[in-house]
Amino acid sequence: MAETFTPGNIIWCSGCGHFGVESALRQSLKNHSLEPHDTIVLAGIGCSGTIQNYIGSYGYHALHGRVLPTATGVAAANPALTVIAAGGDGDGYAIGCGHLMHTFRRNPSILYIVMNNETYGLTKGQPSPTATDRADQEHKLDALQMGLTIPGSTFLARGYVGHTQQLVGLMDAALKHVRDKRGFAFLEVISPCTTFNDNYPSWREILVNLDFDQTYDSADRAAAIGNYAELVATGKTPSGLIYQGSATTFEDATGVSAEQPMALQDLSVASHIDEYYKQMDVYAI
Amino acid sequence: MLEGIGNLGATEIPMVIVDTQRSGPSTGMPTKPEQSDIDMLVYGGSGEFPRIVLAPCDQRDCFEVSFQATNLSQRLQCPVIIALDQGIGQNSVTMEPFDLNDLEIDKGKRLSNEEVAAMATYKRYEITEDGVSPWAVPGTPGGMNLVTGNEHDEWGLVSTQAPNRRHMMNKRSRKIDLAHDLMPKARCGGVEGAGIGILSVGMVCGVVREVVERLEKQGLDIEILEPRTIWPVLDETKEFINSHDRTYVVELNHEGQLARLITSQGVATGKIRSIRKVVGKPYRPHQLVAEILERENADG
């Protein structure tokens, strides 16, 4: 067995929420008995965009905001891989927001973890689309609320690094959704930045844990939308599994196959030449 | 687009990009042809990274050039850009079926499962003599690696160390420097051995061939070069310019980008005569014949 890279030294500050995400991801990969070589972690640009260096699987560092189309491409080329996209709120909800909306519609079987710290941490604390009380008074975006209203979305959840058991549970459920080829699993994780936006204490008040609501039906999209809007109106937001449903996946729609992945197909002329001549015969001269 | 191409250059991911050039700048005249992206395709993108730019001569050549482009990109693990133009891209022709029998796919240093299993160490960006590293695709057992646009060490881990940086910049650029023999060669035509040359790419080539035939009947002999590799500028292109008294470089843009590109790579001064048209219409043979004759009378 070849010696491959040793995971790099973690660059995150002490107390960074991303440690919680990274350890939950490791735990969940273990819970699913996933082999490092069958897993690929793609990350965007930012502090969160270093997570792929620490896991030990295949890793790719994507362009700012473009982790979702890249991950969709990887999943299409080889559906046998477990594809995990990761990034921050700046990367995913600003420059990446268009891609997020279309990934909901497209529903490819990939996991997307957004580490939401309501700031651009790596560049030292500029307000991101999820920031509250900004000087320029732009209104705050809630990507899960947005996802609920986009047809094709099938898994919407929010975790918090302060609730580790719930986070691992959500990560397990998200990975299962993806490995069962049910489509796009979107997991936002509240992951505070201790250096530029330390808001750890505030989440106790803001997060309303759906796990404790016995009446909540995560399969009912319309009810979820109504419930969400009520919470937001009172300055709160839900955590836990917000919605899980079924919709045509990207794999179903395009016919990409895990049994015959495009990335591994035999491209030799010999194996395709008969088909070529058959197609040429269609044309009369 | 350039951000992505730069990423390919830094990550050493094989890819072919086709730019079907049309009149710019910006939205420009989007339904009209032009050849004005040459500078952008050769130089565009932040930082410096290896790339190849090819230019097919006609529709049929698109097949050959694309095949070679794909092979080159996999062999050298770099972006290969095909500079097409709207005149070829949106024009239909009827042609004989392609002869596929002699075509061989070049997978370069892509590793099989068995090859990775037999290696003691696998480094995605291993520094090698020819600059090309062996590569294992995702899913290959034991081949886990990090692919990143950050400057990186041989393992793919982010690095800003000076010695590593020097080695990696050299590694990437020598991939192309050492591979000029692999690049698609020019098509030749016209009157072999003539003192005057003419050079063009893309949709201009067909017109030039017609023009050279007409001028030959009028007693003016011209030799044709249609370079299919425009970056790097190959020795064959420079030798063509240097060995003719004068060469007309005919292109569809305002600044003479192709002429300027070739000149910048070192040819004798005064050898290139630039002919440009930028009004979104192809050359008509009679126009080009007239222009060449006028230049010949004026400048000799």
Q: In this complex, do B146 and A273 lie within 8 Å of one another by their Cβ atoms?
A: no
CA distance A60 to chain B (A): 5
In a mutational test of the A interface, the residue from B145, B148, B160 whose CB has the highest number of chain A CBs within 10 Å is B148
- Torsions phi, psi of A206, nearest 5? -80, -40
What percentage of chain A exceeds 70 in pLDDT?
Answer: 100
| Pairs of residues, one from chain A and one from chain B, whose beta carbons lie less than 8 Å apart | 100
Q: What is the pLDDT of residue B300?
A: 76
Angle at A110 between CA A104 and CA A113, to 5 degrees: 85
pLDDT of amino acid B119 = 96
Q: Exposure of A266 by Cβ count < 10 A (0-12 exposed, 13-18 middle, 19+ buried)? A: exposed
> Once rounded to an integer, what is the mean pLDDT over residues B13-24?
97
Summarize pLDDT for A136-191 with one digit per residue, the tens: 889 999 999 999 999 999 999 999 999 999 999 999 999 999 999 999 999 999 99
Q: What is the pLDDT of residue B127?
A: 98
Per residue in A241-282, pLDDT (tens digit) is: 999 999 999 999 999 988 899 998 888 888 888 998 898 888
Does residue A1 register a pLDDT over 80? no
pLDDT digits (tens, 9 = 90+) for A57-109: 999 999 999 999 999 999 999 999 999 999 999 999 999 999 999 999 999 99
Determine contact: A6 vs chain B, CB below 8 A. Answer: yes
Whether residue B131 contacts residue B171, with contact meaning beta carbons closer than 8 Å, is answered with yes
State yes or no: pLDDT of B101 exceeds 90.
no
Average pLDDT over residues B93-106: 88
**Mean pLDDT over the full length of chain A:** 95
Query: Mean of the pLDDT values across residues B204-210?
Result: 98
pLDDT score, position B44: 97
Residue keyed to tokens 């700031």: A119
For B103, name the nearest residue in chain A, comparing CA atoms only.
Answer: A269
Give the nearest chain B residue to A284 (CA atoms): B94
| CB neighbour class for A143 (10 Å; exposed up to 12, middle 13-18, buried from 19) | buried
Contact list in B for residue A59 (CB cut-off 8 A) is 144-148, 156
Cα–Cα distance measured from residue A23 to residue B147, given in angstroms and rounded to the nearest whole number: 22
Find chain B residues with C-beta within 8 A of A74's C-beta: 138
Searching chain B, which residue's CA lies closest to the CA of residue A44? B148
pLDDT averaged over every residue in chain B: 96
Tell me the mean pLDDT in the region B203-225: 98
* Cβ neighbours of B100 in A, within 8 Å: 269, 273, 276
Please give the ipTM for the structure prediction: 0.93
**pTM (predicted TM-score):** 0.95
Inspect the interface and report whether the beta carbons of A36 and B144 lie closer than 8 Å.
yes
Q: What pLDDT score was predicted for residue B287?
A: 97
